[in-house]
């Protein structure tokens, strides 16, 4: 058992753990390697969003999933862009809400309109605190600009915008390493299933001993 509450919020919970170090080991099969390689090679330039839209998405993503400088960056906006460019749908939308890509375009336009009305600038140009204030009001359903049309801002936040951003971030190995998840697991699965049991190919958590030894363990996870 680790008293993880004693670990400061900013500190790495799984120091030295990199799920990608397992890439060539028995936990990753060929098809998984292919899928992750493709994801890691997604370009930084948008294919679905316009340059202006992409700037806004990047700014939103930085507030929804703020990243630690200690790990390799996750190109969240580019991952969202790639999904929309592919035309992948979630498979449902609320009555009055356009299809996934059109909902994004509408929402970005409405968010910028809100930003101009409230603070006199486009969303991406605002200070982080003001950006957060707008996002908080969107989540609470308090935004009312006519640009939203028949799409409820609260639903856009929860079912489209923040959803796509969160799913993009947690599709990336950096995020998996950060939370100490075992990552891909096929053909090798797991053997030790009980409380406080860790297979040698899983991340060790800080707090169980001195950080140097945890880091050493994690460096050898394959």
Contact 155, 97 (CB under 8 A): yes
C-alpha atoms less than 13 angstroms from C-alpha of 11 in its C-beta half-sphere: 12
Does the footprint of another protein cover residue 80 (CB under 8 A)? no
What dihedral angle (degrees, nearest 10) is formed by the CA atoms of 148, 150, 154, 157?
Answer: -60
Contacting range for another protein; rule: CB under 8 A; set: 69-77, 119-127, 142-150, 171-179: 171-179
Does the footprint of another protein cover residue 219 (CB under 8 A)? no
Cα 143 to Cα 184: distance, rounded to the nearest angstrom = 40
- The residue from 71, 137, 163, 216 that contacts another protein (CB under 8 A) is 163
Contact 58, 124 (CB under 8 A): yes
DSSP single-letter state for residue 119: H
| Alpha-carbon distances, residue 216 vs 15, 156, 169 (angstroms) | 9, 44, 27
Rounded to a whole number of angstroms, the minimum distance from the CB of residue 51 to another protein is: 25
- The residue from 41, 120, 129, 195 that contacts another protein (CB under 8 A) is 195
DSSP single-letter state for residue 62: H
**Interaction mask 21-60, another protein, x per CB under 8 A:** ------xxx-xx-xxx--x---------------------
Contacting range for another protein; rule: CB under 8 A; set: 41-49, 112-120, 187-195, 209-217: 187-195
ω into 34 cis (within 30 of 0): no
Rounded to a whole number of angstroms, the minimum distance from the CB of residue 46 to another protein is: 19
C-alpha atoms less than 13 angstroms from C-alpha of 144 in its C-beta half-sphere: 1
Does the footprint of another protein cover residue 69 (CB under 8 A)? no
**Interaction mask 100-129, another protein, x per CB under 8 A:** ------------------------------
Contact 20, 220 (CB under 8 A): no
Contacting range for another protein; rule: CB under 8 A; set: 44-52, 110-118, 181-189, 209-217: 181-189
Copy the structure tokens of residue 30. Answer: 């060929």
Q: By CB under 8 A, name the binding residues for another protein.
A: 1-4, 9, 13, 27-29, 31-32, 34-36, 39, 63-66, 68, 88-95, 99, 132, 135, 139, 158-159, 162-163, 166-167, 169-171, 175-176, 178-198, 202, 205
């Amino acid at each position: 058992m680790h008293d993880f509450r004693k670990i400061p919020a900013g500190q790495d919970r799984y120091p030295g753990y990199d799920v990608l170090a397992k890439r060539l080991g028995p936990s990753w099969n060929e098809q998984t390697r292919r899928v992750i390689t493709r994801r890691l090679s997604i370009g930084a330039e948008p294919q679905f969003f316009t340059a202006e839209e992409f700037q806004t998405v990047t700014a939103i993503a930085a507030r929804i999933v703020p990243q630690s400088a200690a790990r390799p960056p996750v190109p969240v906006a580019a991952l969202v862009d790639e999904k929309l460019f592919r035309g992948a749908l979630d498979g449902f939308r609320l009555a009055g809400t356009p299809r996934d890509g059109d909902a994004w375009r509408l929402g970005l336009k409405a968010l910028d309109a809100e930003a101009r009305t409230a603070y006199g600038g486009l969303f991406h140009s605002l200070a982080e605190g003001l950006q957060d204030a707008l996002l908080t009001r969107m989540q609470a359903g308090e935004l009312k600009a006519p640009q939203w049309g028949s799409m409820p801002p609260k639903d856009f936040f929860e079912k489209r915008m923040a959803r796509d951003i969160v799913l993009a971030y947690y599709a990336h190995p950096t995020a998996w390493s950060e939370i100490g998840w075992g990552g891909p697991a096929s053909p090798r699965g797991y053997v030790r299933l009980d409380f406080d049991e860790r297979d040698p190919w899983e991340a060790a958590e800080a707090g169980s001993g001195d950080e140097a030894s945890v880091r050493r363990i994690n460096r050898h996870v394959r």
